[in-house]
Amino acid sequence: NLLGYDRDELLRLSPAELDASLSPARLRTLRRILRQGGGELAGVETTYRHKDGSLVPVEVNARSSLLADGRVIAAIVARGIRERVRTRKALELRCQYEHVLATCARELLAQPCTAESIARVLETLRATAGACRASIYENHEDEAGQLQSLRRYERLAPGVWSVSEHADIPKSLNAQRAPHFYRLLREGKAAYGVLSSLSGPEKRLLEGMGVKSVLALPIVVRGHWHGIIAFSDTRNERAWQPGDIAFLQTAGEIIGAALERSQTELSLAESHQRAEEASRAKSLFLANTGTKRERLAA
């Protein structure tokens, strides 16, 4: 039932055909252990081959016994642990995501936010999420007052081509090129999908960019939609999991907070500069006024 074989098929399989990790050397070691009366294996995790070729994670327990006539028999029990492995991998991934988020926060929030630091963080997020391409778009209005999302940053996995180097691929997104995605992003929601399930403008856009699956998230600055952070797979139609989305949403919030702080610092610097210029102008005015009074008095 676990592996999809009937009884006769299973009995014809050798241990090496059944256990995907069983090398000849390891098989000799296991045989040596079990041929000793009282030999035991406890809680050994490995993978068995399903009849369809897929791998099934199992936990193996085995014990051998010496019979009175000198023969040794071994009872081997393997039980499926797919859920345990899934839970463990999810926990490991969560810990990895939390570590990366802490690193990104230190990079962007504990020091001045620069174009170089944003590019470094974007590459870290791309690699951690296993995406082929990661991009950041910044919103602005064109001459006609239409909202456009202009691509500012792009990071690529090895061997993936850059959309920025192709003149026939638009450098910006808008409501005409991706209406469904744009509506979701305006509402502060994630927009994602695989190429085969899309249609219309979104499908044409992704085909032109060589993308098979995409996840796009809004970047919010000062309560307003500032831009987009997008992750795409050019090799597989990837089903984005809730954990991936939550991780990258938090990363987008960190980038938004960093951009907001950067804007605040720029505004404060500009205000300080204007105050200094006003102070200098006032001092110059008073000095000129005093000089005029002195001349009149003379």
Tell me the pLDDT tens digit for each residue of 249-293: 999 999 988 888 876 666 666 666 666 766 776 777 666 776 666
**Cβ neighbours for 24, distance < 8 A, ≥ 6 positions apart:** 16
Hey, what amino acid is at 192? Y
Query: Which phi and psi angles does 104 have, rounded to 5°?
Result: -65, -40
- pTM, 2 dp: 0.70
Q: CA-CA distance, 68 to 33, in Å (whole number)?
A: 19
pLDDT of residue 65: 87
Residue that is written with structure tokens 């210029």 in the block = 277
- Bridge partners, residue 219, by sequence: 227
Q: CA-CA distance, 47 to 271, in Å (whole number)?
A: 65
Query: Which phi and psi angles does 259 have, rounded to 5°?
Result: -65, -40
pLDDT of residue 113: 83
> Count of H helices and E strands in the chain?
8, 9
Q: Is residue 149 exposed (0-12), middle (13-18) or buried (19+ Cβ within 10 Å)?
A: buried
Nearest CA to 77 among 58, 54, 49?
58
Exposure pattern of 204-228 as b/e (b: 16+ CB <10 Å)? ebbeebbbbbbbbbbbbbeeebbbb
pLDDT of residue 268: 63
Name the strands in the sheet holding 133-141, side by side, starting at the edge strand that comes first in the sequence.
172-173, 147-156, 133-141, 224-233, 213-221, 191-194
DSSP secondary structure, 185-222, as one string: HHTT--EEEEGGG--HHHHHHHHHTT-SEEEEEEEEET
Angle at 174 between CA 131 and CA 181, to 5 degrees: 55
pLDDT of residue 63: 87
pLDDT of residue 222: 84
Hey, what amino acid is at 18? L
Nearest CA to 214 among 190, 231, 234, 239?
231
pLDDT of residue 216: 95
Which stretches of the chain drop beneath a pLDDT of 50?
A: none
Whether the Cβ atoms of residue 66 and residue 37 lie closer than 8 Å to each other: yes
pLDDT of residue 264: 62
Task: Output the CA–CA distances (angstroms, integers) from residue 217 to 71, 72, 89, 263, 274, in the order listed.
Answer: 65, 62, 25, 21, 37
Which tokens hold the place of 84? 């345990």
